[in-house]
Amino acid sequence: MIRSRKRSKKNRGEKHLKNLVITGSSRGLGFEMARKFLELGCNVTISGSSLSNLDKAWLSLKDYQDRILAVQCDVRKRDQLFNLWQKSQDRWGKIDIWINNAGISQQNNTLWGLSADDTDNVVQTNLMGTIYGSQVAMQGMLKQEEGRIYNMEGFGSNDMMRRGLNLYGTSKRALTYFTRALAQEAEGNNIKVGALSPGMMVTEFITGPTVGKKKEINEETRRIFNILGDRPETVARFLVDEMMKDKNNGSHIVWLTRRKVMFRFFKAIFIKRNLFDQITYDD
């Protein structure tokens, strides 16, 4: 599925704007990053594997639809990522920033309790989707002789472990190594590679690994997320601002720093939050 509108005459004569592609941007953090980039005047290709979610996202951003392209894409399939690049390049002329954001959580279960399909989906989406996306973006950016690629970290990237998140954490830890190695490989090619660390966000991604399904969260987990967690729009604002300023290869843009963690725990003594009451679920 491809949806777009021709750029207005007003935009055609303006100074070159940054052109972006964000995988997994039909909702959650990816969607909020897309919105923020649009607010800053960028042209953005949003994408997702669900056609219905992509339609909702496109319509939600109706105020910017002269600068949006929506392309359905399953990151587990390399040919669809290539199509995502090609359609975006045809629309914007070049791609300045490509963000591998698409990812899925796992069922809250031990490794041996996961089905073969669940196992394949997590690894193929979180790890292979980023590898495929980086290959496609790197090949395209080498031809245009510049560009930036960012990969999204997650729980496990910093070696944290939790029962029921073995596979998810493994995929994100591998992604961290991959991103560092890719940045090293990119040296000298005018292509910049970096990692984005969003910290802990309270979204449907955490509370329900499948659309519309609410997952029970134990009290200790709920307490930690209410102290350290944030809404996607808050994190997106920070990440986008930092990416727009970033000029380095091998950048690691971190939202939830150690200093911030310490301050949050101290603040929690006096101020209580309940971010879980703000979550809505798809029909």
On whether the 2-218+230-260 domain is CATH 3.40.640.10, my answer is: no
| Among the listed residues 92, 104, 22, 82, the one whose alpha carbon sits nearest the alpha carbon of residue 57 | 22
What whole-number distance in Å separates Cα of residue 101 and Cα of residue 99?
Answer: 6
Give every CB contact of residue 177 below 8 A, 6+ residues apart in sequence.
none
What whole-number distance in Å separates Cα of residue 149 and Cα of residue 57?
Answer: 23
Instruction: Please state the pTM of the whole predicted model.
Output: 0.85
Give every CB contact of residue 115 below 8 A, 6+ residues apart in sequence.
none
Among 103-107, 154-158, 223-227, the minimum mean pLDDT is found in 223-227
pLDDT category of residue 77 using cuts at 50, 70 and 90: very high
What whole-number distance in Å separates Cα of residue 281 and Cα of residue 157?
Answer: 27
What whole-number distance in Å separates Cα of residue 132 and Cα of residue 115?
Answer: 24
| Among the listed residues 120, 129, 39, the one whose alpha carbon sits nearest the alpha carbon of residue 80 | 129
pLDDT category of residue 124 using cuts at 50, 70 and 90: very high
What whole-number distance in Å separates Cα of residue 46 and Cα of residue 30?
Answer: 8
pLDDT digits (tens, 9 = 90+) for 211-262: 344 455 566 667 767 877 788 999 999 999 999 999 999 999 999 888 888 8
Q: What is the CA radius of gyration of the chain?
A: 19
pLDDT: is 3 or 120 the higher one? 120
Count of all residues that appear for the chain in the document: 283
Give domain limits for the chain: 2-218+230-260
